[in-house]
Amino acid sequence: MSKIISILPFVFIFIGVFTVIYIMYMTIFEKRRKKMKNKEMNKLRETLSPYEFESTQKNAVNKRFSFMEYLYSGDYIKVIKEFKDYYGFTHQEGEKFYFACAYFLPYEDGYTLYISKDKINIKAIYLQDRPETQREICYNLKKYFEIIEQGRFKR
């Protein structure tokens, strides 16, 4: 019994040293992985146009390549009913643009739709999913948008 007790401190020291080495390795590995990912994303930002980057790169948790299962990345869209977005900007009937992606902001029930008229530069349409703001638009997209040409996603 005394031999087990005399060996026990060495076992604890071994476990402690192993744990510290493991934690250090994982920390260094995680930093290296994050650095490589940031480097790759920056390289893509430099080589792709803003529209191509936003419509092809999953670079955020709350980013989606579809909006309400109606608009999909790459769709060419025409506004068929005039509306005002969250900030009061009017989108006229007949306005045409390409849809890139949508971000959802849960704390404000907000959607940011990234669009482009020339597939190079990006603009945003801000919608809020609340009855007093743009809920009508969010849930009745067919009344407001007509898909002229489907993008890369099949339906």
User: Contacts from 130-136 at CB under 8 Å and sequence distance 24+?
Assistant: 133/86, 134/83, 134/85, 134/86
C-alpha–C-alpha distance, residues 69 and 106, integer Å:
18
* DSSP tag of 70: T
The domains of the chain, with CATH numbers, are 48-147 (2.30.30.350)
Tens of each residue's pLDDT in the chain, 155 residues: 667 777 778 778 888 888 988 888 888 888 888 888 888 888 878 888 889 988 888 888 899 999 998 999 999 999 999 999 999 999 999 999 999 999 998 888 899 999 999 999 999 999 999 999 999 999 999 999 999 999 877 66
Assessment of whether the complete model's pTM goes beyond 0.75: no
Dmax (CA) of the chain? 88
